[in-house]
Amino acid sequence: MGNTNQQPKLVVGLVIDQMRWDYLYRFNSLYGNDGFKRLLRGGFSFENTMIPYTPTYTAPGHSCIYTGSVPALNGIIGNFWYDKRTGKSVYCVDDSTALPVGSNSNAGKMSPGNLWTTTITDELRLSNNFRSRVFGISLKDRGAILPAGHSANAAYWFDASVGKWISSTHYMKALPGYVDGFNDKDLAGDYMKGEWNTLLPIENYEQSTADDKPYENPIPGLHTVTFPHKLSLITSDKYEAFKYTPFASTYTFDFAKTVLENEQLGNKAVTDFLAISISSTDYAGHHFGPNSVEIEDIYLRLDKDIAGFLQYLDDKLGKGNYLLFLSADHAVAHIPGFLQEHEIPSAVFSNIEIKNELNKMVEKKYGIPRVIPSVQNYQVYVDKNALRLNGKNEEAVLTDIIQLLAGKEFITDVVETSKINAASISQPQRERMINGYNAQRSGDIQFTVKAGYFDGANKGTTHGSWNPYDAHIPLLFYGWNIKPGKTNREVYMTDIAPTIAAMLQIQMPSGCVGKVLDEVSGK
């Protein structure tokens, strides 16, 4: 779909949280013609797009897409990490200096301050003396803030304690009137007065397992995992429960349209940027898993939402006048209980149990309690100051920790993070570990586990590993100057930002390590 305009009126980044690449095709027979199929038919699909670092979580994923960088360089190594200087856990977008705008809760004390590099959205603003307008929208604060970058006009996220879109003083002093007006409608509350039933007759969901499975988790506030999910029965924390429904995706798109309309995005001489992240797919995905009726239904409904949004962009900006890319921040593993039903190896382990076992071992052998303050992101943090103050041999303690971990049946490799490059591990794992290792923020020891294993409980699923089920994501470009096609050559999440930079003829982000995708760049 080519266009003679030198620049698109608007770039839309559409990130579907937890979308596996295979969802493009797995549910294709039930998709309509104007959503995912339209993007595949009229756009260019990079069928083999991989995440080039570990761990594969939401904050690193959004950061990587928009910075073209990896955690080693942009600083966002996880959703959370342990701060070795303060001895406290850090949330990726926490900012004690930022105040909430739109509510009085701590949900507004957020900013991109922990992100060390610029984003493609920052670079767009820098390219024309900040005339381009940039907005980030997501139910999740990290899904709005990290894509919008440091210099955005606004990032908006959903405060489930009040059921409203909010922001922080990093961006503004007060919400615009149109945001207050949207919040006053309480559309989320209206959705929660009804129920979530399947879009189609449930017998049509042939890609899913039976609806009632003991390894699924219910929507918070409900006690069953089967359709219909009677949302009206939820009497407390209803806005938290709302995030697990497909209606939260519709709600996000409706708010995106409201922002686009009121900010007049795409109506000026320069390119604007709207970064949208759909979060309900992740919330529901964690609880119900990839083989559930819920996930099949949520993607059929998302397909309709995308179709409606594309039509809206056609009407407002004209076909071919906007550039849209669709990708994901990570994918997801199958629920172990489901895999076990089919004799596929899978199980869960507990980071807390590992931490307790390591602390018990170190205290018994070296006489120092609580030397392991945290096990997270497949990494073990060691209080080396405590070892030095007690005159203990650091390398001896690390060796003992490594030996204990290596003895676990489900752990395949254990390395000191500062020595990853010399470790005898497979090259793909080594590269991903190095790209994910940040000397200031990462732990001291990293381990990998067998495929199908993860830290979790007996119900639900998660993501975070280097394995393809977590790291293989969709990537489609559609619209302005994009010619239809697809390729199976391996490309990476880091390639998205430099490709957009090349298309817009602007500088790539300050920590960018990706390569321009020539198939769509027009170069």
Q: Is 58 a catalytic residue?
A: yes
Rounded Cα distance, 325 and 342, in Å: 36
- First and final CA of the chain: distance in angstroms? 16
What region does 387 belong to: left with phi over 0, alpha with psi -120 to 50, or beta? alpha
Phi then psi for residue 193, to 5 deg, are -85, -10
Rounded Cα distance, 11 and 275, in Å: 8
Contact 136, 152 (CB under 8 A): yes
400-414 core/surface letters (b: 16 or more CB in 10 A; e: else): ebbebbeebeebbbb
Rounded Cα distance, 296 and 305, in Å: 14
DSSP letter string, 168-201 = ETTT-SS--HHHHHHHHT-HHHHHTTS-B--SS-
SS3 444: coil
Q: What are the DSSP E strand ranges found in 410-474?
A: 411-416, 445-449, 453-455, 472-473
Rounded Cα distance, 478 and 87, in Å: 45
Contact 473, 50 (CB under 8 A): yes
Choosing from 49, 58, 117, 448, the catalytic residue is 58
Q: Which neighbouring-strand residues pair with 453?
A: 347
> Among positive and negative, which fits the CA dihedral 470, 322, 42, 486?
negative
Which residue has tokens 């856990």?
89
> Among positive and negative, which fits the CA dihedral 351, 356, 359, 360?
negative
| Residue 381 host element (H or E) | strand 379-381
Contact 73, 440 (CB under 8 A): no
Q: Which neighbouring-strand residues pair with 136?
A: 155, 275
Instruction: Indicate which residues carry an active-site annotation.
Output: 58
